[in-house]
Structure 1
Amino acid sequence: MARAQQAPASPIVVTGRGLPETPATPAYDTVEIERNLIASSASGRIEDVLSSVAGFTQFRRSDSRSSNPSAQGVTLRALGGNASSRALVLLDGVPVANPFFGYIPFSALSPERLATVRVTRGGGAGAFGSGAVSGTIELETGGPDTLGPVRGNLLVDQRGETQSSLTLAPRLGQGFAVASVAWDRGKGFWTTPADQRVPASARARYDSLSGALRAVAPLDSLTELQASVLLYDDDRQLRFAGAESSSSGQQASLRLVGRGDWAFDVLGYVQAQDFSNVVISSSSFRKVLDQVKTPSSGYGGKIELRPPVGSRHVLRLGADLRIAEGQLYEEPFSAATGARTAIRRAGGRNSDIGFYLEDDWTIGDLVLTAGARADRWRVADGFYREADAAGVVTIDDSFAERSGWEGNFRGGALWRASEAVALRAAAYTGFRQPTLNELYRPFVVFPVTTLANAELKNERLEGYEIGMELTPREGLSFSVTAFDNRLKDAIANVTLSPTLRQRQNVDAIHARGLEFGTSAQLGSIAFDGSLAWTDSEVEASGVSANLDGRRPAQVPKLMASGTLAWTPRAGWRVAGTLRHVGAQFEDDQETDVLPAATTLDGFVQVPIATGLSFILRGENLLDERIVTRNQSGSIDLGTPRTVWAGLRVGLR
């Protein structure tokens, strides 16, 4: 009897990614940064990579080598005004913002590990959408196909600072692993102008170390397990000797992805972070505040299911959970005597559980999408305690628990009118909880004190946009988006007197603008450009009425970036990036101006042997004066001209 012929086994394809993007993803204003742009950043920092998307801003213009970590909040579309992040930042699906402050630990996110970066400007209602009032930034770790089995960099600049990294991405059976370490250290540059330096002035010294380990393994032909660990430690000195700040963290996640008919994505994560900071008086040059520690933890996860509902529909059903808790311990000191004057503790717990659904419906050349999200939020265990130098309690405040439901929606349409023209439109709402920092922690940037506010309300977004994509020929594309976003109850640092501010909800921040993008590949020459023009203003009444009609602090009207690259042959790359950031105000009263700045960066890679290349990088080659802080004429400066040279190993 003849033996029955056995059906061939299904091939196992391991991607290390989550579920694929849905057909309606292009209905929103989405920009993808490819690997070649990520790997040729002039600074080797992720915030530099993200700056190629116009509209991306941090609270201050400084990069993560020369800024206080707590000022590293990110936002999009000119919806800023304080140091918290209004954009959701995900690393392989996991939110990475500090649970207490909401800042992004940029020094932990090495570009050398990444395959792609996707930036969506505008609110979202999908997974973890409760933090995406201005948009979402998704970072995706690479694997052997994009990184190669061995990749490393070793560079030094003219000040003797070093930047080094090593990434191993071996295939293990039918899966793979990625192990990576990055170490940046240096004496830093002078952030204080020469004519304002005093004997206590110091360079912006930095020392940051991060490591990551990721393993991906198939469980069967359609299911894979992804496990990730991220660790980092960062130490900096800012402006004055002894003004030390440090941040550290550990993060672990486990993800199960199924790509069968009933596709699913199950993710769980836990993170622990800490922050400390010493503030030095700019008059007596004594320590006036020691933020001894700010331990915080975050944990949560998501479950998403995509049931088979027909070839023309992609239905997403999901739930997610985010919990953030933490507290601070700090000690103020007398600027005159150096003696401790008080002991402060504050903290609390925020939680959010969300449920979402979204459906994409493809009708020929038209894709329609609609989604809804319901969130149960809670603010609990809030407290502020202060004792005198002897430990006698003088303030002991406990704040009432608050909770509620928020409902949000988004919808859009994408019409591919022809092979060369695509039209899109979208409308959305969203919300963001105040961070523990905004609720409970006062702070001082001498001589201005900013008070916390435990009664802050959630921020709520309403927005809509229309856009067009033109692709007149292969390798050439243009895009334009017009948007109108209104962030109600926006949290701002409101000036109450010349030396006193408080975090308060203003009526709204209203931002309207245009975003342009272009990409061209003409043989060995490529160009990628982005421009954002935004008219953003505060709507305010009551105690903050004097802000009405003003531009939010730290928000420029115009941002533009363009990168021209030449790759004459495999392994070679010569690129230049021109960026412009318009003038912006340091404060909500529009009194202290940060002038516009235009910078030119450069990158050169020349192969010198198999798997070995010479790298030459230049930051701010024209040595533009970049003012990052201006407080009544006392200013800080950003990165001066910096030239790096070194070697890159890349084996295939």
Structure 2
Amino acid sequence: MPIAFAVASLPIGAAIAQDSDNPPSREMSTEPAIIVTGSALENTLSKPVYAMRSLDQAALTKTPSGRIEDALASVAGFQQFRRSDSRSSNPSAQGATLRALGGNATSRALVLLDGVPMADPFFGYIPFSAIAPERLSSAQVTRGGGAGPFGAGALAGTIELSSASADELGPFGAQVYANDRGGTESGAHLAGNLGAGFAILSGRWDRGPGFYTTPVADRVDASARAAYDSWSLQARGVAPLAPNIELQARGLIYDDRRTLRFDGADSSSTGQDASLRLIARGDWQVDALAYVQARNFTNVVVSSTRFVPVLDQRSTPSTGLGGKIEIRPPLGERHILRAGADFRRSEGDLSEVALSAFTGAVRERRSAGGTNTDLGLFVEQDFLAGPLTLTAGARLDRFTIRDGYYEARDPDGGLVERNRFEDRSGWESSFRGGAAYDVGGGLSLRAAAYMGLRLPTLNELYRPFVVFPVTTQANAALRNEQLEGFEAGVDFAPREGVELSVTGFDNRVRDAIANVTLDPVTRQRQNIEAIHARGIEAATRLESGGWRFDGSLSYTDAEAREDGAAFDGNRPAQTPAWAGSASLRYAFSEGALAGVTLRHVGRQFEDDLQSDILPAFTTLGAYAEVPLTRRLSLVLRGENLTDETIVTRNQAGSIDLGVPRTVWFGVKVSGR
């Protein structure tokens, strides 16, 4: 349905844009030219102020794994909750954060696709498997809290993903790859002009038997490979409504199924998203957006001692609704004023069955859920005064946490426990601002301070979960996370092809939500006093001839704070001190290139008490593309070519491993 709507909207928009009975003559018309881009409004003035990093289409697509997570990992400070990508992790653990602000299955970074928040309405995880890099034009990563629209989710920063236009993709394209374990990756797109607009239909399918995440010494008959099978289909259309006004429509459908550790330990993540966006680029600029998301998640937990299902999370349907309106009045080239409002509503319910590990009989039936809303009012002003750029912004958020419940019944339907949690609401204010000064000769100095906000998710509030043998309890009394931070940096670009950047930062998350250990097999989500992260980030980009080098490095001194707690002063769980990436690429001729990527992630801890260590690891990846004809290319990719051992989970010696050496080969067809 979303796809049909997106495509059908194109001829309607084209019909509005012109009079079909009296089409204007190209020679005689005095009407302004209609230009359709499919992109968002630019905001170039404030870019030099904050710690931003942009990834172009090549950086997004020419990676060893072909995954969007791999591309984003080249940005210093980007981190997922687990060290696994979206082929071998539980979907509900795919949180994204920046600046080592504590590992969390919920995203502390705001991830936007064409302006739409991508976080799951119930869990807050990012459906990375549904975001195909080849559909994108660029990614812009802003580290540090706060944003204008949807700023209530930008606690650690913002990752803005932009879809490619028909011109960028070409009229058609396809790729088919296979790896040395029998996995496959395939995708295709069709794009074309419809009147003065365009439409794109694209699909991707990834599947494979996966690899054993369990070490050889710990495998049993029930051990299973991390098999995965995921597909997504997206339709996007852009149509002019008038000169300088365009309507953008996008529909996305995806399905992702995985098996983790044991036979029968299956999970699924599905979604149907649709959005409409109106962009006006005239004197008065407008960005109006509306979206709807329908998501679901299922999961079966298998005992690691008896190897039978002990928990069947049968269904977790959730709905996300939202939108924004942003207006920019005509103030001249040296001023940008952004004012508007945004709204998000997340509603969801969990239905699960606890099973006996001895008989398989139902022990308990449970349900939980609720509704969260956030209405934000925002204003930001950017001002250019010669070499000095100034920016300041403020948000006021009205939030509600309501309709929360948890219920448990015995096998015969008798009530075991029923909780109806008190509704809550309130106002939160946040601010950000900064300055950048162009010294000359390519040297720029910048400084910024900011605040951020994140509401606890429905998952954190109401849903307990089990990663056997540890049970993590929910907590309906969780408070909002609030960030306060500042940073200063130096950017140096003395000539084209040379970019250097260094940023020092100090960020503190008050009332940070963490999984706090109560006993060896029980944890609970709790607000702790703070997570304090101080560090430095560096990035460089060098280009000369056909060579290109991209490097990033981050060091973060992070501490969890809670007076009197056993973890006070410890490094937050799932948080490395050091992380870095270096990529070297050479373009031999048009369309022919080869590159290698070295990536390092430092030691981190599984839990808040630092009892279980996840050792540091360094991986080597490679990508090569060789044209066979004008439209056909041979592609070779290699992940973890040194076969480094990557420990992704360690709970009292129960270990999961990340991707081993994997070699891909395939072909790519391009209509450009």
**Which bracket does the TM-score occupy, shorter chain normalised?**
over 0.9
> Does 2:453 match 1:431?
yes
Contact 1:482 1:514 in 2 (8 A): yes
Q: Which whole-Å CA distance do the structure 2 matches of 1:153 and 1:224 have between them? A: 31
Contact 1:262 1:307 in 2 (8 A): yes
State the one-letter code of the partner of 2:108. R
**Partner residue of 1:642?**
662
1:595 is aligned, of 599, 612, 615, to 615
Q: Which whole-Å CA distance do the structure 2 matches of 1:314 and 1:297 have between them? A: 34
**Partner residue of 2:413?**
391
**Partner residue of 2:582?**
562
Give the C-alpha shift of residue 125 in structure 1: 3.1
1:189 counterpart SS class = coil
**Partner residue of 1:287?**
309
Spell out the pairing of 1:224-239 with structure 2 (5 A cutoff): 224-239=246-261
**Partner residue of 1:303?**
325
Q: Which whole-Å CA distance do the structure 2 matches of 1:6 and 1:625 have between them? A: 69
1:170 counterpart SS class = strand
**Partner residue of 2:531?**
509
Q: Which whole-Å CA distance do the structure 2 matches of 1:176 and 1:345 have between them? A: 45
- Name which of structure 1's ranges 67-76 and 16-25 shifts more when overlaid on structure 2: 16-25
**Partner residue of 1:69?**
91
2:189 is aligned, of 148, 151, 167, to 167
> Does 2:641 match 1:621?
yes
Give the C-alpha shift of residue 6 in structure 1: 6.1
Instruction: String of CA shifts for 1:62-83, please: whole Å, max 9, x gaps.
Output: 0100000000011000112321
Instruction: String of CA shifts for 1:282-336, please: whole Å, max 9, x gaps.
Output: 0011110000000000001000000112332110001000000001000011112
Give the C-alpha shift of residue 631 in structure 1: 1.0
1:46 is aligned, of 60, 68, 76, to 68
**Partner residue of 1:416?**
438
Contact 2:210 2:227 in 1 (8 A): yes
Contact 2:546 2:586 in 1 (8 A): yes
Q: Which whole-Å CA distance do the structure 2 matches of 1:172 and 1:624 have between them? A: 49
> Does 2:229 match 1:207?
yes
Contact 2:80 2:103 in 1 (8 A): no
Contact 1:102 1:435 in 2 (8 A): yes
Contact 1:58 1:73 in 2 (8 A): yes
Instruction: String of CA shifts for 1:32-60, please: whole Å, max 9, x gaps.
Output: 01111112011111111111112111110
Spell out the pairing of 1:81-160 with structure 2 (5 A cutoff): 81-160=103-182
**Partner residue of 1:177?**
199
Contact 1:326 1:349 in 2 (8 A): yes
Spell out the pairing of 1:221-260 with structure 2 (5 A cutoff): 221-260=243-282
Q: Which whole-Å CA distance do the structure 2 matches of 1:502 and 1:193 have between them? A: 28
**Partner residue of 2:488?**
466
**Partner residue of 1:380?**
402
Contact 2:147 2:158 in 1 (8 A): no
State the one-letter code of the partner of 2:302. I
Give the C-alpha shift of residue 541 in structure 1: 2.5
Over the aligned positions, Cα root-mean-square deviation in angstroms equals 1.0
Contact 2:97 2:103 in 1 (8 A): no
Give the C-alpha shift of residue 419 in structure 1: 3.4
Give the C-alpha shift of residue 10 in structure 1: 2.1
Contact 2:80 2:96 in 1 (8 A): yes
Contact 2:81 2:104 in 1 (8 A): yes
Q: Which whole-Å CA distance do the structure 2 matches of 1:149 and 1:576 have between them? A: 30
Give the C-alpha shift of residue 610 in structure 1: 1.4
Q: Which whole-Å CA distance do the structure 1 matches of 2:166 and 2:185 have between them? A: 23
2:461 counterpart SS class = helix
Q: Which whole-Å CA distance do the structure 1 matches of 2:60 and 2:43 have between them? A: 21
1:284 to 1:49, Cα distance in 2 relative to 1, 3 A? same
Q: Which whole-Å CA distance do the structure 2 matches of 1:608 and 1:189 have between them? A: 32
Q: Which whole-Å CA distance do the structure 2 matches of 1:239 and 1:108 have between them? A: 23
> Does 2:509 match 1:487?
yes
Give the C-alpha shift of residue 650 in structure 1: 0.9
Give the C-alpha shift of residue 145 in structure 1: 2.4
1:315 is aligned, of 327, 337, 342, to 337
Instruction: String of CA shifts for 1:74-121, please: whole Å, max 9, x gaps.
Output: 100011232111000000000011000000001100001001011111
Q: Which whole-Å CA distance do the structure 1 matches of 2:90 and 2:163 have between them? A: 26
2:252 counterpart SS class = strand
**Partner residue of 1:359?**
381
Instruction: String of CA shifts for 1:382-402, please: whole Å, max 9, x gaps.
Output: 000000111111111000000
**Partner residue of 1:583?**
603
Q: Which whole-Å CA distance do the structure 2 matches of 1:613 and 1:9 have between them? A: 43
Q: Which whole-Å CA distance do the structure 1 matches of 2:652 and 2:474 have between them? A: 23
Q: Which whole-Å CA distance do the structure 2 matches of 1:26 and 1:344 have between them? A: 50
Q: Which whole-Å CA distance do the structure 2 matches of 1:540 and 1:615 have between them? A: 51
Q: Which whole-Å CA distance do the structure 2 matches of 1:261 and 1:189 have between them? A: 56
TM-score (norm 1): 0.98
Share of identical aligned residues, percent? 59
Contact 2:574 2:604 in 1 (8 A): yes
Contact 1:125 1:409 in 2 (8 A): no
**Partner residue of 1:532?**
554
2:459 counterpart SS class = helix
Q: Which whole-Å CA distance do the structure 2 matches of 1:479 and 1:134 have between them? A: 19
TM-score (norm 2): 0.95
**Partner residue of 2:671?**
651
Give the C-alpha shift of residue 450 in structure 1: 0.8
Q: Which whole-Å CA distance do the structure 2 matches of 1:83 and 1:315 have between them? A: 35
Contact 2:591 2:625 in 1 (8 A): yes
> Does 2:363 match 1:341?
yes
Contact 1:530 1:561 in 2 (8 A): yes
Q: Which whole-Å CA distance do the structure 2 matches of 1:111 and 1:311 have between them? A: 33
State the one-letter code of the partner of 1:73. G
Q: Which whole-Å CA distance do the structure 1 matches of 2:258 and 2:607 have between them? A: 25
- Name which of structure 1's ranges 245-254 and 50-59 shifts more when overlaid on structure 2: 50-59
State the one-letter code of the partner of 1:519. R
Contact 1:22 1:314 in 2 (8 A): no
Q: Which whole-Å CA distance do the structure 2 matches of 1:182 and 1:81 have between them? A: 29
State the one-letter code of the partner of 1:353. L
Instruction: String of CA shifts for 1:479-530, please: whole Å, max 9, x gaps.
Output: 0000000000000000011111110000000000000000011010001111
Q: Which whole-Å CA distance do the structure 2 matches of 1:384 and 1:258 have between them? A: 46
State the one-letter code of the partner of 1:586. E
Q: Which whole-Å CA distance do the structure 2 matches of 1:242 and 1:139 have between them? A: 35
State the one-letter code of the partner of 1:158. D
Q: Which whole-Å CA distance do the structure 2 matches of 1:146 and 1:532 have between them? A: 32
Give the C-alpha shift of residue 211 in structure 1: 0.6
**Partner residue of 2:12?**
none
Q: Which whole-Å CA distance do the structure 2 matches of 1:330 and 1:6 have between them? A: 68
1:416 to 1:7, Cα distance in 2 relative to 1, 3 A? farther
How many pairs were matched up? 646
Give the C-alpha shift of residue 7 in structure 1: 6.9
Q: Which whole-Å CA distance do the structure 1 matches of 2:204 and 2:83 have between them? A: 23
Q: Which whole-Å CA distance do the structure 1 matches of 2:449 and 2:247 have between them? A: 35
Q: Which whole-Å CA distance do the structure 1 matches of 2:499 and 2:36 have between them? A: 31
Spell out the pairing of 1:273-284 with structure 2 (5 A cutoff): 273-284=295-306
Instruction: String of CA shifts for 1:166-193, please: whole Å, max 9, x gaps.
Output: 0122122211111100000010011111
Which structure 2 residue ranges, 5 or more long, are not aligned? 1-26
**Partner residue of 2:573?**
553
State the one-letter code of the partner of 2:563. S
